[in-house]
Structure formats: C-alpha cells, structure tokens
Structure 1
Amino acid sequence: MDKNPAYPPAIQELITEKSLPKETLIRQKKYLNNIVEQDHRFIKKITKPMLGFKSFLTADQTLKGIEALHMIRKGQADDNSTVLTAVEWLNKIFDLVA
C-alpha cells in the first residue's frame, strides 16, 4: 500500500478484530498505488464509452476479457506454444468448463 498514514491504524484494528491474521505484514511504498492505477487506466478508457453495464454478469465477463487481453499484450501470460494451451488458459481465466 502507499504511505497513507491512515493505513497502519486501520490494519492494526482489523488484526485486533481478528478480521486479518496476526502475521499480516504491512508493506508501504510511496508510489505503490500508482502502479495499480496505471493498470486500471486501460480498463477505464475502454469501459467509459460503454455507458455502464446492465448486469453484474456482463460486467464480470467484459472486465475479465479486457484484463486477459491486456495481460497477453503485456507479456504476463504464460508462453502458450499451442492453440490448445491458449484456449485452456482463456477458459481458466473466464471460469469456463473446458
């Protein structure tokens, strides 16, 4: 998480309420949140002109597809040497039964 001073007390409170395990470590880095926001920038650019989603299922499937294609473009997906493994990987991402 980033270095927002509100995070450590909130994490400590969650640990005392036993919502988080005692072994939870806080890793703070000044600009860590920016990395996450940069990844969401591409999703926002695609979904903004869509005028929203009509159902949760539609939103779920659309966002999974955008994320999958973005992962492939960034080279974060496994090296799929055959079409069959690529199809299996996409089925795994979309929670489809192969």
Structure 2
Amino acid sequence: MLTELSHKEFLEFLKHGNENGHVGILELLNPLQTQIGCVSKQKVNDPFVLCLLGNEGVFKYWDLKSKQIPGSDCELGYIDQGGLCSLPVISNGDEIE
C-alpha cells in the first residue's frame, strides 16, 4: 500500500523507523538497490505490472547531512555519470563509452 508522508513525517521515519520494522515504499529510495526486474500480467479486466528491486535486501538509513559527493563511491563495476552510479555503456567494439 502506498503511503504519502509529509516532509516532517518522512524525516521522523528516517530517524526512528516505524513500530513494525517494515520500511514499505522507502525501500524504493534505497540507494544501494542496483537492479530492477518488471513483468506485466494480464488478468481479465485487471492488468498489472509487478517489479522487484534488488539486490540489497537490508534497508540502511543514509546520512542526510553527508558531505560526500554524489557518485564518488560507486560499487565495483559502476561508474559515476553526473553524480549517479550506473553501469557503463558498452559499444559494439566492447569499449566503455
């Protein structure tokens, strides 16, 4: 279930979590998620798309006051592209663009 939080509620959640320990939709904001897979399923009058995120299964709170430069600490195999860690684009000649 999607939940809408005010800015203040969101910051409080990041500081303290919630009672049941489930992070819900905040898992989508986890910067350590590096993969996504989606599939559509057609049911009579009820089509939907299911997406799974991975591969990080543990939600880790991040430092909202961090001075670290975005893209400066990319995981192995990822490169900084404008402050976003992403997989390099491989051209037909097997060179990283």
Q: How would you bin the TM-score normalised by the shorter chain?
A: under 0.3
User: Which one has a bigger Cα radius of gyration?
Assistant: 1
Q: What TM-score comes out, normalization by structure 1 length?
A: 0.21
- 1 or 2, which has the higher strand percentage? 2
Relative contact order: is structure 1 or structure 2 higher (C-alpha 8 Å, sep ≥ 6)? 1
- 1 or 2, which has the higher helix percentage? 1
